[in-house]
Structure 1
């Protein structure tokens, strides 16, 4: 499970490198989509990237230049249904993954975000027109959410209280309702 999430995150970062280059020092970066043309975004379904069968796309533009930097498919109903089916199947397997292993996946995601902060911020700047400093703040806030989620495994374990009364222990088991 952790390998799949890592490969998803890594593939996203690799695509980001096609669109932007950033310096670690925080100096201005140069966006270079014109050299490559707009990137057609693919759907992530069933653990792999797939070209959409959509006939219509939404252009993502750089607000500073109005240049189209990528195109997002208006995914077909069949593709959407297929994605939902795959997500439901993935949930059935993910729910059986031990909490410590889930936590390791989240720790790996934290590590990848930290390694690619400049690239993520550069893409936010490219797509949203934010300053690089503001975009880095967005990445940091996202990282805080992942850090918080990484600590939730402890809270999901339930608890055992021994010797509530003579010879009596109590325990709680947390189970999702949905």
Structure 2
């Protein structure tokens, strides 16, 4: 089941690294990411996309079958999603995932409608479904189903003004398994 757009995105703590459960909540409550994959030549490919989380922690991305994302998944099956916080101070969470291509027309249309809702901030009405179905067919749309297996967090540490008395500190984050438990 596709999750609806969260009323309020998760606010990242600024005094410590995110717990594993907070990392998952961060992903579930945001909507945009930098989608990256390995290219055959040159450096990684990256693009900004909307993603749709599911109730079983998959992340779904709509794309055209003829695009590089689809070809790279057929070759490799590994992607990275750099989930973006849209609020200051900016934070991000890198998600490493195994990916497959889904061609099921109902799923493709459902994801496209959910993306439209995230873009506009409100759900798309069912009266738009025939138009979305036509667009999906015309553009030969598919869904990238991403199954996260690990995350890497970046803490939001920024100067808010040049005369602040607080010392800015940083800490080292690490890669954490997607399904890791919080420390007790």
Normalising by structure 2, what TM-score?
0.25
Larger Rg: 1
| Bigger RCO (CA 8 Å, 6+ sep) | 2
Task: Tell me which protein shows more strand as a share of its residues.
Answer: 2
Judging by fraction of residues, say which structure has more helix: 1
TM-score w.r.t. the length of structure 1 is: 0.26
